A and B are shown apart, each in its own frame.
Chain A
Amino acid sequence: MPTAEKTLDEILNLAAAHFKVPREKLSPDDDFFKTLGIDSLQALDLLTKLENHFRVELPDYELQGVTDFRRLAGRIQARL
């Protein structure tokens, strides 16, 4: 199982690539809605990418209130 830090790093890389944002502009505690400039449908698109990448299933109600990469990584880590 990857470490929590590695999971977080992979999420940041994936988000940067998917939404075409320079990786160095993303930080673990950023509000990803604001930093990536995405709405809830795009957030679901990101969730699908992450589920496919990590091969996990993450019910989206577990993401209610989760807006930063670090907590998102925590939710994914709990399913690995």
Chain B
Amino acid sequence: MTKALSHKGKAMSFECQDGVIELVLHRAPCNEIGSLSLDELEVFARAIESLHEPVHAAILYSDMKAGFCAGADLRELYERSRAMEKEESAKGVREFLERIHHVLNVIDDAEMTTIAAVHGVVFGGGFELALACDLIIADKTARFAFPELRLGLIPGFGGIPRLKRDIGNAVVRDLLLTGRSFNTMKAQQIGLVSQVVAEGEALRAARAAAAQLKKFDHQTAVTAKHFIKPIPTEELTREIDIFCELFSRPAVQAGLKKFVESTDAQPYLP
């Protein structure tokens, strides 16, 4: 039996039982990733990096009704950047991106099979968190999008390089340049989602997959994963640079302000 490993936080909790780690996101309203979530994701990453016994699988899922994760915490980003001088703000953004990139690279490269069990909103940084995982199992309520362009930005948590790794460039361009969202059926058609299940069944299906993975030799599974899923390091580094260049423009502050102060019924529509 694997040694117990657990964390109970404000944004997420995780526990390892019998060779499977389950990480549950539980920060209202929809697991927006700000400094609190990043701190706790780093706890998770350190736990993965310091494992002394083989862990076969990790399952990432959300307890929030609205979905898996709505992406970066734009309110926090706006408030922080507004309170800082331009140079200080740019430095803070770069540091945040480097930290989240490290966490997602650890998840991406983990010596176990990682499964994102998703439902509802899987937007922006939430989509990027799912893309760092080896398998995405989605229920029929899931919706995927990269809405960053409407803020004058590109996805900053490794989204484009990881999406390009998995699916065709034409679909990447459609998602990125239009900011549109698409549903689970479309996600499966284009090869992004490996299993589609009924509403509320993603976690059960992920647990069944994790139980199957445990039947195989751990080292073989790790070798196979690293062979077929290299981390696009160069593009990820370039992404941080591009994001920071874009972030320094006034259009971004205006876009963030518009989103944060919006009373429009449709701020999530592109």
Chain A interface residues toward B at CB < 8 A? 33, 39-41, 43-45, 47-48, 51-52, 57, 59-61, 63-64, 67
Contacts and interface: CB of A to CB of B under 8 A. Distances in A.
Contacts of B264: 40
B181 A44 contact: yes
A33 B186 contact: no
B140 A60 contact: no
A60 B182 CA distance: 8
Contact of A61 (B121, B140, B141, B269): B269
Which 4 A-B residue pairings sit nearest by Cβ, starting from the closest? A40-B268, A33-B265, A59-B180, A40-B266
A48 B179 contact: no
Given A52-B183, A59-B180, A61-B180, A45 B120 contact: yes
Given A51-B183, A61-B270, A64-B270, A41 B66 contact: yes
A47 B184 CA distance: 12
A79 to B, nearest CB: 13
B133 to A, nearest CB: 21
A3 B70 CA distance: 36
Interface string B202-238: 0000000000000000000000000000000000000
Contacts of B270: 60-61, 64
Nearest to A39: B265
18 contacts: A39-B265, A40-B269, A41-B120, A43-B265, A44-B121, A44-B181, A48-B140, A48-B142, A51-B183, A52-B140, A52-B185, A57-B186, A59-B180, A60-B145, A60-B180, A60-B269, A61-B270, A63-B269
B143 interface: yes
A41 B132 CA distance: 24
Contact of A48 (B66, B180, B183, B267): B183
Contacts of A59: 178, 180, 182
Contacts of A45: 120, 141, 143
Nearest to A34: B265
Given A52-B140, A59-B178, A41 B268 contact: yes
Contacts of A51: 183, 185
B100 interface: no
B30 interface: yes
A41 B185 contact: no
A13 to B, nearest CB: 18
B200 to A, nearest CB: 13
Contact of B179 (A44, A61, A63, A67): A61
Contacts of B180: 59-61
Contacts of A61: 178-180, 269-270
A41 B264 CA distance: 12
A51 B181 CA distance: 12
A47 B181 CA distance: 10
Interface string B109-139: 0000000000011000000000000000000
